[in-house]
């Protein structure tokens, strides 16, 4: 069994929140494909990374799914799509 986590920012680089519908659509997709999903969205976690000389911060939502096998091509394509969608 594999645990897959998807960490997504709650807002874009300009600080504009992403619409709730984007997160709801992903939850439905993951639930339909894997039979269930866990979403940690009520109290967003914080993500930190080095952005030049300063440390940058994001509030993030975490999606988790359990799957028997890892379909790496599907996950790779899904990751690329999410990176474009959540800029």
Residue 76 confidence (pLDDT): 95
Query: CA 26, CA 63: separation in Å to the nearest integer?
Result: 9
User: If DSSP codes are grouped into helix, strand and coil, which group holds residue 77?
Assistant: helix
Domains recognised in the chain with CATH numbers:
2-85 (3.30.70)
Q: How far is C-alpha 19 from the chain's CA centre?
A: 14
Whole-number pLDDT of residue 67: 93
What are the pLDDT digits (tens) for 12-65? 888 899 999 999 999 999 999 999 999 998 766 777 777 778 877 788 899 999
Say what the pLDDT of residue 49 is. 74
> In the prediction, which pLDDT does 44 show?
65
Beta-strand relationship, 38-51 and 54-67? antiparallel
What is the pTM (predicted TM-score) of this model?
0.82
Q: 78: how many CB neighbours lie within 10 A of its CB?
A: 17
């Amino acid at each position: 069994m594999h645990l897959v986590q998807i960490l997504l920012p709650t807002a874009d680089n300009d600080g504009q929140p992403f619409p709730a519908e984007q997160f709801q659509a992903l939850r439905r997709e993951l639930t339909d494909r894997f039979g269930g999903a866990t979403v940690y969205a009520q109290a967003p976690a914080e993500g930190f990374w080095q952005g030049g000389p300063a440390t940058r911060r994001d509030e993030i939502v975490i999606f988790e799914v359990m799957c028997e096998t890892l379909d790496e091509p599907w996950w790779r394509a899904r990751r690329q799509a999410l990176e474009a969608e959540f800029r």
